[in-house]
Structure 1
Amino acid sequence: MRLAIPVAAGALLLTGCSSDDGGSTIKIAYQGPLSGQNVGLGENMERGVQLAINEANASGDYDFELEYFAADDQGSETEATTAAQSAIDDPDVVAVVGPAFSGPTEVSAPLYGQAGLAAVTPSATNPTLTEQDFGTFLRAVPNDNAQGSAMAEFLAGQDGVDSVMVIDDVTPYGEGLAEVAVAGLTEAGIDVEHDSVPAETVDYSNAARTVVESGVDALVYAGYYEALGPFATRLQEAGFDGIGISGDGSKDEELINLAGDAAEGWYLTCPCTDAAEEEGLADFAERYEEEFGLAPGTYSAEAYDITNMIIAQIAELGGAPSREELYNALAGVEYQGLTKTFTFDENGEFANDAVFFYRVEEGVISYLGGTDEVTG
């Protein structure tokens, strides 16, 4: 039974600690990279979570107080157990937004399942995550089957693209995205070469030469901006003049800081919309910038929506739900957020598959629109 969740001793009944006004304090955790490499992506989501909590507390609409709990996994599998356990061990944490990355999710999600603690990711997109029966894992974003297919559809529609190299960074995220991209490109009749370059690579010169000497017309990089930055620089130095495209792991302004003009012209896909460009998100973007002094980033709005969805279910359950009660409510929810309608299938998979395209133009990541708009 999907709802027969093993629950760690002492974790089932959760009423929250008392706050100064006589109500209860309830904590919502965020697990992601808050230090180390790729911290920019983690902080984007963290701020979305914090804004939702701050606004809920200030609204006066609830008879409970919310508190943010940080679980920093540095985007690393090796830190994921410690991060997850920190949230599990705090009895006032009722739900987790995250984990943010696919690798840490594979480590953390089983622990959350054993504790009966809902983990709702805004950004972990490896397709296999919802196939592993973690127990309390929900994915609130289209997986890489959608993103890899969108990349393949886009490249197949470009004039002069007959051959493509796909390079992954040997992480669960990169390998999953690469696998789908290779399959989609092959199905479209494009010649595909697939290679792997570990994310810890210090010098990308050899990898860049391999791409250029292959003579491919386009390159798909399945990995994170921390590695794509120096890789793009070496590709420019090696004379690569084909189309470059990467996924949501590279969609961060730090890519431009790392690569400079070598990032120019690169396409980026993301199952996340641009809060600064979408008319319906203008008010959110304004409040976010007022709160933090900068514009929303990748998955900021999605993390904000997920946190508000959790808050709404806490209130619906009377303000003091057990972890199990809250997970069950979230698993069966239909919640209209700013970015999308959130609902999950029996495996915890998100029901929507919308993917959006971006391009680095004049040193800025510019929003191009949804897959249908871009591929025409």
Structure 2
Amino acid sequence: MRLAIPVAASTLLLTGCGGGGGDGSIKIGFQGPLSGDNVGLGENMERGIQLAIQEANASGEYDFELEYFPADDGGVEGQANTAAQLAIDDTSVVAVIGPAFSGPANVAAPLYGEAGLTAISSSATDPTLTQQEFPTFLRAVPNDNAQGAAMAEFLSTQEGVESVMVIDDVTAYGEGLAGVAESSLRDAGLNVQRESVPDDTVDYGSAARTVVDSGVDAVIYAGYYADLGPFATRLDEAGYDGIGISGDGSNDSEFVNLAGDAAEGWYLTCPCTDANENAATEEFAQRYQEEYDVAPGTYSAESYDVANMIIEQIAELGGDPSREELYEALAGAEYEGLTKTFSFDDTGEFENEAIYFYQVEGGEIGYLGETSEVAGS
């Protein structure tokens, strides 16, 4: 296993035509929700990236210094252009991890492409992102074709589940995941109803009553934890007693904080493993806990891996790559991270489809395992 953990104090002055912008540093950016309703997911990723950079700068292995560059888009499309432009305008930024969410990624990826700046997302899962030929976009996570299919595989093996309601939050992420889940459920022979409930809905009471009145055996919510929290609460109040399942956008402890007892029993899927439960990430989890006084969360370890992948390629390119050189190196690289092997096809799509299941039990999100280990149980 190669652990790309560079880097020490800089002795190399970098030029404007390379990655340093003339100030002696190389910056790795992160675009994601560092404010707003779903800030918890952004903080998970940010901390993983920052830890990789800190460890690199402390290792003494290379003659360049790394800096972290935050580009906060609040997790919303309306702030995506501004956030991306901040990173683009700083010539020391040689690559950006993100955008974290699919909606902002769809908006910002063309800008990054025009600038020749890599946007490598560790979490944006809308399948269409790699179908639009964005020049420098790479996805370092399985897309929702895998996640939606995993939800369907799981529900189709649960005793007594014959009908499912799929609800999206009218975002690019939610609609994409819901569409795949709906299609996969129908292919599995289940009866499916489809509804849309916009994110930031003030009162989820009506939506909850729609679910209960439908008599479905399970509900899939394709959206983020900030909205699933109040929705799950209303479902519980309305007397819903079927299976509840949501995706990676809800896989955060804040969901439990928002929903309280109503979160109990909900299943959550993610193309991310639990860094606290796997031997390969055990030492990372300890260092993360020591640094931030909190356990790694959703996509913390994956973002750490992606940051180290970038660092490795910077080093292999001599410590002063242009944005275009670094993109070409990353697009063709194969990197053995802590969480998985990272490589991309010619569209920038990630070449791995593993999906993992979690469940809320006793007020905590517990790790269950990969889909094949959970389906039928």
Residue pair 1:164, 1:190 contacting (<8 A) in 2 also = yes
Residue 190 of structure 1 is matched in structure 2 by 190
Displacement after TM superposition at 1:69 (Å): 0.2
- Secondary structure of the corresponding residue to residue 275 of structure 2: coil
Displacement after TM superposition at 1:18 (Å): 5.6
Residue 165 of structure 1 is matched in structure 2 by 165
Which 4+ runs in 1 deviate beyond 6 A? none
Taking the TM superposition and a 5 Å limit, the aligned residue runs for 1:188-267 are 188-267=188-267
Residue 18 of structure 2 is matched in structure 1 by 14
Residues 64, 265 of structure 1: CA spacing in aligned structure 2 closer, same or farther, 3 A cutoff?
same
Tell me the TM-score normalised to structure 2 length.
Answer: 0.95
* Alpha-carbon separation, structure 2, partners of 1:58 and 1:37: 34
* Alpha-carbon separation, structure 1, partners of 2:18 and 2:73: 25
Residue pair 1:125, 1:142 contacting (<8 A) in 2 also = yes
Taking the TM superposition and a 5 Å limit, the aligned residue runs for 1:260-275 are 260-275=260-275
Q: Does residue 88 of structure 1 match 2:92?
A: no
Residue 359 of structure 1 is matched in structure 2 by 359
- Secondary structure of the corresponding residue to residue 59 of structure 1: coil
Tell me the alpha carbon deviations over residues 324-358 of structure 1, each in whole angstroms, 9 at most, x when there is no partner: 00000000000000000000000000000000000
Residues 262, 89 of structure 1: CA spacing in aligned structure 2 closer, same or farther, 3 A cutoff?
same
- Secondary structure of the corresponding residue to residue 350 of structure 1: coil
Residue pair 1:12, 1:324 contacting (<8 A) in 2 also = no
* Alpha-carbon separation, structure 2, partners of 1:110 and 1:15: 20
Residue 155 of structure 1 is matched in structure 2 by 155
Q: What is the number of equivalent residue pairs in this alignment?
A: 362
- Secondary structure of the corresponding residue to residue 58 of structure 2: helix
Residue pair 1:12, 1:116 contacting (<8 A) in 2 also = no
Of all paired residues, the percent bearing the same amino acid is 71
Tell me the TM-score normalised to structure 1 length.
Answer: 0.95
Q: Which residue identity does 2:142 align to in structure 1?
A: P
Residues 183, 114 of structure 1: CA spacing in aligned structure 2 closer, same or farther, 3 A cutoff?
same
| Backbone CA RMSD of aligned residues | 1.1
Residue 113 of structure 1 is matched in structure 2 by 113
Tell me the alpha carbon deviations over residues 55-93 of structure 1, each in whole angstroms, 9 at most, x when there is no partner: 000001110000000000000000000000000000000
Residue pair 1:13, 1:323 contacting (<8 A) in 2 also = no
Q: Which residue identity does 1:240 align to in structure 2?
A: Y
Residue 302 of structure 2 is matched in structure 1 by 302
* Alpha-carbon separation, structure 2, partners of 1:297 and 1:12: 36
Unmatched tracts of structure 1, length 5 or more:
1-10
- Secondary structure of the corresponding residue to residue 70 of structure 2: strand
Displacement after TM superposition at 1:279 (Å): 1.1
Unmatched tracts of structure 2, length 5 or more:
1-14
Q: Which residue identity does 1:328 align to in structure 2?
A: E
Tell me the alpha carbon deviations over residues 111-153 of structure 1, each in whole angstroms, 9 at most, x when there is no partner: 0000000010000000000000110000000000000000000
Q: Which residue identity does 2:346 align to in structure 1?
A: E
* Alpha-carbon separation, structure 2, partners of 1:245 and 1:304: 27
Displacement after TM superposition at 1:17 (Å): 4.7
- Secondary structure of the corresponding residue to residue 62 of structure 1: coil
Residues 117, 17 of structure 1: CA spacing in aligned structure 2 closer, same or farther, 3 A cutoff?
closer
- Secondary structure of the corresponding residue to residue 360 of structure 1: strand
- Secondary structure of the corresponding residue to residue 252 of structure 2: coil
Residue 7 of structure 1 is matched in structure 2 by none
Residue pair 1:96, 1:117 contacting (<8 A) in 2 also = yes
